[in-house]
Amino acid sequence: MGKRRKAREYALKILYAVDIQHDEKIDNCCAMLDSLYVNCPDQVKEYAETLAKGTLNHLDSIDKYISEYIRNWKLERMSPIDRNILRLGIYELLYEALDAKIIIDEAVEIAKKYGSNDAFQFINAVLDAINKNMRSCQGSSKKKQKQLPAIM
């Protein structure tokens, strides 16, 4: 398993801890997980914390995206693991300079490992739809000089 995958899994665990402990600060969750993963390389921990903090810093806009793309479902009803895999994937799509296919594939693989039964299919569909919408908006902004939607 690559360092980026490990970092994503570690970031997911941080996001999960923050999510289920509501009032808990991210630094406390990072410190708690650091004590559990003492053999984890510093590079992996640093990248994981960057992903987790970035996701939490943009949580409102990320949750708006999720709510926009899940029909007949509420964000609060999703499993905390599935919700945070989506959050992390959307953060990476919006704010990390990586190939979207890699981001989506990584989220799907993490969902297969940690998510509920068919979560990987759901996560793939949502992230793919967001990615297509982003590309469509970016393409039309280049052609017509339109601005991207406000939630981006």
> Mind listing the pLDDT tens digit for each residue in 24-81?
677 777 777 777 777 888 899 899 989 999 999 999 999 998 998 887 778 888 999 9
What is the number of other CB atoms lying within 10 angstroms of the CB of residue 69? 17
Tokens of 36: 């559990």
Q: What is the CATH number of the domain that holds 118?
A: 1.10.940.10
**Is residue 149 included in any domain, yes or no?**
no
**Is residue 151 included in any domain, yes or no?**
no
Express each pLDDT in 101-149 by its tens digit. 999 999 999 999 999 898 999 999 999 999 998 878 776 554 443 333 3
Rounded distance between C-alpha atoms, residue 121 and residue 148, angstroms: 27
Residues in the chain: 152
Express each pLDDT in 81-105 by its tens digit. 999 999 999 999 999 888 999 999 9
**Is residue 84 included in any domain, yes or no?**
yes
**Is residue 125 included in any domain, yes or no?**
yes
Nearest-10 Cα torsion for 85, 97, 1, 104: 40
Dihedral over Cα of 20, 21, 24, 28: its sign: negative
**Is residue 101 included in any domain, yes or no?**
yes
**Is residue 132 included in any domain, yes or no?**
yes
Dihedral over Cα of 35, 114, 127, 20: its sign: negative
**Is residue 16 included in any domain, yes or no?**
yes
Containing domain of residue 127, as a range?
3-144
Residue 46 near residue 103 (C-beta atoms within 8 A): no
Position 15 scores a pLDDT of: 92
Number of structural domains found in the chain: 1
Q: What is the mean pLDDT of residues 13-20?
A: 90
**Is residue 63 included in any domain, yes or no?**
yes
